[in-house]
Structures are given as structure tokens and as C-alpha cells.
């Protein structure tokens, strides 16, 4: 029996909810222990211990930045920072610059940037005098990948954006002999997303597109395993996440960026990209009944940046997707109203029904453990992809 029970009513049934965050038994792989705490909160606490953001974290960052500067001697840039125009990547770009690094800003341009996102990228890069490399893919080709994912019936229709960004940064790092990719992820503000909500890997992208796409991928930078091994094990390119080691407060970061750069808030998690906004505010909510804000708010609750009462109140407020954006998706992905209606009502499929690298990740788990210890692969990747079930 649970010693402390926290139950909520959902669709007429009582289900167990974590006492601490918003996760409940409907969340994939969510296990709530006898104290009423979910395994996602427990994982968060383990990450807190491994990645301190106090004085110890400051020392870790000092050592990291010293290594980055050492490997960047004699080069124009000593690291790459991926930037989207969102809060995390914008703040990170400012942070590394203020700490004496010489970053090359890289933006993965898939044709769906919002005007706000473009403004934010330009504003911060221009004021800091940071070079920006806008990595463009052919829009028709990229939209064919998005169309394939929507036709396939899977949940993670925006998977190509994450893989494209990672692969683009590796490729640019390789071409410019840069040893460090600096990422703006923070588990304290972004959370720990269930794998079944957003699975991504290069083989998965290829297989879905092979089955449902019509245009050959030529400009899209897919992340193939042999290229990943070359970039990480031969080129020894490392991916690091400085926000793990600072007291990063999302609300304060936005206020700072607004004052310092005229940065503009885009109104929601990753809504600096229109297709991602469509995915979060319309597709996932309408077709799958997944509310991504549960993940984001749970992260903020765990890191004491939001209380649970406020989070629950915010969840009651709707996040609407503009009708014009839905119509734009239909037009650019070549869907008639009838086609779109079929997609929104077809049975769901999971990534397990397609070819992926996950069986390889699980079999070679020890390798990925070593790679995360060497800062070559993020720990979040190891925990998320190298186990079939997370507990």
C-alpha cells in the first residue's frame, strides 16, 4: 500500500499522481513509490547531485571553460553554440561570451522560424558581434519529411528538428576543427520527457521517410551512426551543457535578455518555431491528448521555480493554436482538409514499429555510459535511450 496517497480524477477514474510534480500513472513509464514520489522526480534528484549548481558547479565550469579555451587556441572559434531564438539558447550564448569563450552561433533553419525567433537571434548575435551560421535545408525537402511523419501515425512528428540541429552542429564542428559543442539544455527547466512522447534518432528519421516520403533527402543533415562515431571518437568532439552547473532561473533569464538585448518572449515552450508550436499546441493536444506543459511545469516544480498550485492553475488555461497556422501546415505539407482529418483520426503508431538505433543503444549500454562519463554524449541520452524501460 502507498503510505501517502495523492489521487486525481481523470475521465471518471481515480489515478495516482506524484505528490511532488504533475506526473501521474498515465505518463509512460511513470512509477510512483510508496512515499508517493515518481521515478522522474527521483531521477531529477540524482541529476541534481551529479551536476551541482553551487560553488562546486562554478569550479566545474571554470575547468570546463579552461579546457575549451585551450583546445581553441589559434582558431577563430573555440566552441559552437546552437541557437533557436528561444530563452535557453539565447541565455547560453550570452553566458559563454561573458565567460570569455569565442563561440560560433549555429542556427538550424528548417523554414518554420517565427519572426520573433529571427529577431531574437539577430539581436543577440549583432550586439555581441558573434558570427552566425544559418544552416538552411531545402524547405520542400524538409516539409516532405514532416509530411511523412504525419502520414506515419507516430506521435513524434517534430523529431527531424532535433536530429537536424545536432547533426548540423557536428558537421560544422568537424569542418572547422572545433572540439566543443555547447548546448542550452537544462533538466531543471526543461524536464525529463518520456521517450514515447518524443523519440529521435537518425535511423528512425530515415525509415519513416523511406516508407512515407516522396522526395530524396539531400540537404537534410541526418545523424548516421558511422558519422557520429567519426565525429565523437575520431574527431573527439564533445557536447557539454553549462546550464547544468549554474543557478539558472527561466523567469530571471527572460527578464535579463529583454533588458539587455530587446529579446522578445514567444509565448510558450519552443514556440519560436511555427511547426513546433503547431505540434505542441494542436497536434499533441488534439490527436494524442499530450500536454507538454506537464513536463515543463514539473521541471520547474522540482527545481523550486514554480509551486504545484500555480502549475495546476496554469494547466487550466488553454494554449490555442492559431487557425492560420493549422491552415499553413495543411498547405505546405500538401494535405487537403480530408487528408488532414484522416491523419488526425488514424490509429496511433509508436517508434517501435519502425527501424531505430535503440536496440543497438541498449546492447552497447556500457559504451554509452563511458561516452557520457567522457562528456562525449549527454547523460540524459544514456538514461533515456539505453534502457527499454526506465524505472
Tens digits of per-residue pLDDT, 26-68? 887 899 999 999 999 999 999 999 999 999 999 999 999 999 9
Query: Is the pLDDT at 268 greater than 50, yes or no?
Result: yes
Q: How many domains does the chain have?
A: 1
> Is residue 19 in a domain?
no
Q: Residue 232: exposed, middle, or buried by beta-carbon count in 10 A (0-12, 13-18, 19+)?
A: middle
User: Can you spell out the DSSP letters for 346-388?
Assistant: SPP--GGGS--SHHHHHHTHHHHHHHHHTTSS-HHHHHHHS-S
> Is residue 17 in a domain?
no
> Is residue 359 in a domain?
yes
pLDDT of residue 7: 53
pLDDT of residue 141: 98
Q: How confident is the model at residue 3 (pLDDT cuts 50, 70, 90)?
A: very low
Query: Which backbone phi and psi does 134 adopt, to 5 degrees?
Result: -90, 100
**103 half-sphere exposure, CB direction, 13 A CA radius:** 29
pLDDT of residue 241: 95
Query: Is the pLDDT at 2 greater than 60, yes or no?
Result: no
Residue range of the domain that includes 137: 42-385
Distances in Å between the Cα of 154 and the Cα atoms of 58, 84, 110, 317 are: 41, 25, 20, 27
Which of 349, 356, 67, 108 is CA-nearest to residue 236?
Answer: 67
Residues in the chain: 391
> Is residue 27 in a domain?
no
What is the greatest pairwise CA distance in the chain?
65
The mean pLDDT of the chain is 92
pLDDT of residue 387: 84
What percentage of residues in the chain have a pLDDT greater than 90? Answer: 80
User: How many angstroms separate the CA atoms of 343 and 129, rounded?
Assistant: 45
pLDDT of residue 270: 67
Q: How confident is the model at residue 346 (pLDDT cuts 50, 70, 90)?
A: very high
Q: Write 381-387 long-range contacts (CB < 8 A, 24+).
A: 383/43, 384/192, 384/193, 384/195, 385/195, 385/201, 385/357, 385/358, 385/361, 386/361, 386/362, 387/362
Q: How confident is the model at residue 391 (pLDDT cuts 50, 70, 90)?
A: very low
pLDDT of residue 8: 53
- What element of type H or E holds 252? helix 250-261
> Is residue 30 in a domain?
no
Give yes or no for a contact between 240 and 64, defined as CB atoms under 8 angstroms apart.
yes
Lowest mean pLDDT among 74-83, 178-187, 271-280: 271-280
User: How many angstroms separate the CA atoms of 215 and 75, rounded?
Assistant: 38
Strands (E), 193-281: 238-240
pLDDT of residue 320: 81
Pairing of strands 132-136, 103-109: parallel
Q: What is the mean pLDDT of residues 248-256?
A: 94
Query: Is the pLDDT at 267 greater than 60, yes or no?
Result: yes
User: How many angstroms separate the CA atoms of 21 and 44, rounded?
Assistant: 11
**369 half-sphere exposure, CB direction, 13 A CA radius:** 6
Vertex 113 angle, CA 109 and 148, to 5°? 70
> Is residue 198 in a domain?
yes
**Residues forming a β-bridge with 80:** 104, 181
Tens digits of per-residue pLDDT, 218-243? 999 999 999 999 999 899 999 999 99
**Residues forming a β-bridge with 133:** 106
Query: Is the pLDDT at 364 greater than 50, yes or no?
Result: yes
Buried b (16+ CB within 10 A) or exposed e, 145-176: bbbbbbbbbbbbbbbbbbbbbbbbbbbbbeee
The answer for 240, left when phi > 0, alpha when psi is -120 to 50, beta otherwise, is beta
Neighbours of 318 (CB within 10 A): 8
Query: Is the pLDDT at 168 greater than 90, yes or no?
Result: yes
- CATH code for position 368: 3.40.50.620
> Is residue 237 in a domain?
yes
- What element of type H or E holds 106? strand 103-109
> Is residue 10 in a domain?
no
User: How many angstroms separate the CA atoms of 201 and 162, rounded?
Assistant: 9
Q: Which three cell numbers mark 20?
A: 511532488
Q: How confident is the model at residue 6 (pLDDT cuts 50, 70, 90)?
A: low
Amino acid at each position: 500500500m502507498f503510505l501517502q496517497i495523492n489521487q486525481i480524477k481523470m475521465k471518471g477514474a481515480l489515478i495516482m499522481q506524484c505528490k511532488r510534480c504533475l506526473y501521474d500513472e498515465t505518463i509512460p513509464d511513470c512509477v510512483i513509490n510508496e512515499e508517493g514520489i515518481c521515478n522522474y522526480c527521483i531521477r531529477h534528484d540524482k541529476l541534481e547531485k551529479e551536476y551541482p549548481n553551487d560553488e562546486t558547479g562554478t569550479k566545474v565550469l571554470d575547468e570546463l571553460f579552461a579546457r575549451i579555451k585551450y583546445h581553441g587556441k589559434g582558431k577563430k572559434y573555440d566552441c559552437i553554440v546552437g541557437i533557436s531564438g528561444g530563452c535557453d539558447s539565447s541565455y547560453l550564448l550570452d553566458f559563454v561570451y561573458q565567460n570569455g569563450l569565442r563561440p560560433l552561433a549555429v542556427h538550424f533553419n528548417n523554414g518554420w522560424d517565427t519572426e520573433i525567433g529571427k529577431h531574437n537571434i539577430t539581436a543577440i548575435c549583432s550586439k555581441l558581434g558573434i558570427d552566425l551560421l544559418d544552416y538552411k535545408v531545402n524547405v520542400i525537402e524538409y516539409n516532405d519529411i514532416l509530411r511523412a511523419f504525419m502520414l506515419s501515425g507516430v506521435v513524434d512528428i517534430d523529431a527531424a528538428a532535433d536530429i537536424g540541429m545536432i547533426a548540423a552542429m557536428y558537421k560544422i564542428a568537424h569542418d572547422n576543427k572545433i572540439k566543443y559543442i555547447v548546448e542550452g539544455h537544462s533538466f531543471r527547466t526543461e524536464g525529463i520527457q518520456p521517450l514515447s512522447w518524443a523519440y529521435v534518432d537518425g535511423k528512425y528519421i530515415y525509415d519513416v521517410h523511406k516508407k512515407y516520403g516522396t522526395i530524396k533527402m539531400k540537404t537534410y543533415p541526418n545523424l548516421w551512426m558511422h558519422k557520429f562515431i567519426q565525429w565523437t571518437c575520431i574527431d573527439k568532439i564533445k557536447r557539454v551543457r553549462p546550464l547544468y552547473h549554474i543557478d539558472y532561473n527561466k523567469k530571471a533569464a527572460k527578464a535579463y535578455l529583454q533588458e539587455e538585448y530587446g529579446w522578445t518572449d514567444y509565448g510558450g515552450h519552443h514556440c519560436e518555431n511555427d511547426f513546433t508550436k503547431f505540434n505542441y499546441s494542436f497536434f499533441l493536444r488534439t490527436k494524442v491528448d499530450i500536454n507538454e506543459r506537464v513536463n515543463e511545469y514539473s521541471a520547474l516544480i522540482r527545481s523550486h521555480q514554480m509551486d504545484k498550485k500555480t502549475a495546476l492553475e496554469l494547466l487550466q488555461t488553454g494554449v490555442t493554436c492559431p487557425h492560420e497556422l493549422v491552415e499553413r501546415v495543411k498547405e505546405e505539407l500538401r494535405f487537403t482538409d480530408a487528408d488532414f482529418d484522416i491523419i488526425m483520426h488514424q490509429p496511433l503508431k509508436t517508434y517501435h514499429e519502425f527501424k531505430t538505433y535503440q536496440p543497438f543503444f541498449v546492447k552497447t549500454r556500457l559504451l554509452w555510459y563511458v561516452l557520457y562519463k567522457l562528456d562525449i554524449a549527454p547523460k540524459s541520452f544514456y538514461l533515456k535511450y539505453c534502457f527499454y524501460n526506465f524505472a
